[in-house]
A and B are shown apart, each in its own frame.
Chain A
Amino acid sequence: MYHFNFTPVFRKFPEILSGALLTLIISSLAILLGFAVGVVCALLRTNGPKPLRTLVSIYVEAVRNTPFLVQLFIVYFALPTIGIRLTAVEAGILAMVANLGAYAAEIVRAGIEAVHRLQIEAGAALGMSRLQILRHVVLPPAIEAVYPSLTSQFILMMLASSLLSAISVNELTGVAQLLTSLTFRSFEIYFTIGVLYIVLTLLLKAAFQVIGFASFKRWRRLGGANLVFAPVQRFRRMLESARNA
């Protein structure tokens, strides 16, 4: 009978936490940059000149139909042969940005196409330039409409960052592999790591809700049934009624 032994996990917990921190940092960076790439590509694909549209759709289809692990290997192992040398962390972030950019582009494009034509015509009637219309009329409701899909894609990206361990980045999974070879307590370590990934997922979900509330007026208005903000709003209402009394 196997005896579980979590002592090595507790002893090495600071290392594990530093791995989790690196996962969080790398993922946040990749999410920020990947989102920016996605928005630019979505705009190019819907409003850009024809050759650029084709290029963007080739990029999007190429990324969406190949595994992230292979993309990672191409960036880390194949780019040096044509003279582009990157450290493991840089290569990892670059692959994540390229991957997320394509998915985000497809999601944001769906949002842009859902914006009603009359809104754009109304913007033009007010004398707004093409760029102003995109920036002020099209993008805000488009991103708000697809925000839930975007955030679940962001979380999938954070989870996929575990593959960076395959190119020797010491993020959460990388640290776990290192500790496994030191302590031979594989199952205990990966179990702990799995729990930590779930914690990271919940953390990101909460963070995206806060960001959603800070960015979208409509969310604040309809926010009654919300997990994170329901208590805050209840508290605020309580204060207000106390003040009025």
Chain B
Amino acid sequence: MFGQFGWHAITLLLIAARWTVLLSVLAFALGGLAGFAVALVRTSRSPVSRTITAAYIEIVQGTPVLILLFLAYFGVALIGIDVPPLLAASIALTVFSSAYLGEIWRGCIDAIPRAQWEASESLGMTRWQQLRHIILPQAFRISLPPTVGFLVQLIKNTSVASLISLVELTREGQLIANANFRPLPTYVAVALIYFVLCFPLSKYSQSLERRLHVGRQS
């Protein structure tokens, strides 16, 4: 393996990429659940809970992912257990995506015209019925392009987990480059694998945007 970069290294990278995918899926699923709750509370009628979720979003979006990761890593260790990196990374990325997805979906709920709320209220619907049958189905439609776009951000941000030595794609690249002293082909291969994961999603997000005639919001 010394001094060369070949199929062996590429196989190792692809195996490590499974962890990148797993971490992305975990963080997206858990962060999506939490983010959905954040979005609902953020658009609720109680000013107190609206303020609390707004503060939560502001705090998470004002902190680097890396710091969230360290806080999760060293914070869970405070209760006296040995923290597996995958757990710390999942917690940090879940918090991260819950704030961003919460804010994205809040925007989508707010984008539904007020008249839709009023019309459904005049039909005697409860708040939950309004959300379930009128507001959320429409919000879901416009939320698709930015949500897929965020998934790309999330996949890229899983690379940060390499800094607490979770052996995902970036960390494996580092290990290989340290062994074969060929950082250029190694890191370019790593970048290419990320590109293969992210580029189709980026394009899909753009085509969704065009198809739904939603205004362009990066």
Indicate with 1 or 0, residue by residue over A154-188, a CB within 8 angstroms of chain B CB atoms. 00000110110110000001001000000000110
Do A163 and B160 touch (CB < 8 A)?
A: yes
Do A198 and B71 touch (CB < 8 A)?
A: no
Which of A65, A149, A165 makes the CB contact (< 8 A) with B195?
Answer: A65
Cβ of A24 within 8 Å of any chain B Cβ, yes or no, is no
Nearest Cβ on chain A to B100's Cβ, whole angstroms: 11
Do B156 and A66 touch (CB < 8 A)?
A: yes
Cβ of A82 within 8 Å of any chain B Cβ, yes or no, is yes
The answer for the CA separation of A190 and B164 in the assembled complex, in Å, is 14
Cβ of A78 within 8 Å of any chain B Cβ, yes or no, is yes
Which of B61, B160, B216, B217 makes the CB contact (< 8 A) with A69?
Answer: B160
The answer for the CA separation of A110 and B152 in the assembled complex, in Å, is 20
Do A187 and B71 touch (CB < 8 A)?
A: yes
Cβ of B183 within 8 Å of any chain A Cβ, yes or no, is yes
Binds A, one of B34-42, B117-125, B138-146, B170-178: B170-178
Chain A residues lying within 8 Å of B68, measured Cβ to Cβ, are: 194
Cβ of B187 within 8 Å of any chain A Cβ, yes or no, is yes
Do B202 and A73 touch (CB < 8 A)?
A: no
| Residue with the greatest number of chain A CB neighbours at <10 A, chosen from B156, B177, B202 | B156
Indicate with 1 or 0, residue by residue over B149-163, a CB within 8 angstroms of chain A CB atoms. 000100011111011
Cβ of B75 within 8 Å of any chain A Cβ, yes or no, is yes
Chain A residues lying within 8 Å of B80, measured Cβ to Cβ, are: 2
Report the interface size for chain B: residues with CB under 8 A from the other chain. 46
Cβ of B12 within 8 Å of any chain A Cβ, yes or no, is no
| In the complex, chain B residues 73-99 whose Cβ is within 8 Å of any chain A Cβ | 74-75, 77-80
Do B64 and A65 touch (CB < 8 A)?
A: no
Do A2 and B78 touch (CB < 8 A)?
A: yes
Do A173 and B74 touch (CB < 8 A)?
A: no
Chain A residues lying within 8 Å of B194, measured Cβ to Cβ, are: 65-67, 70
Cβ of B48 within 8 Å of any chain A Cβ, yes or no, is no
Given A65-B194, A66-B194; A201-B74 close (CB under 8 Å): no
Cβ of B184 within 8 Å of any chain A Cβ, yes or no, is yes
Do B160 and A77 touch (CB < 8 A)?
A: no
Do B190 and A190 touch (CB < 8 A)?
A: no
The answer for the CA separation of A198 and B71 in the assembled complex, in Å, is 14
Cβ of A197 within 8 Å of any chain B Cβ, yes or no, is yes
The answer for the CA separation of A159 and B159 in the assembled complex, in Å, is 15
Do A162 and B64 touch (CB < 8 A)?
A: yes
What are 6 pairs between A and B in contact, CB < 8 Å?
A: A65-B152, A66-B156, A70-B173, A159-B64, A162-B66, A173-B66
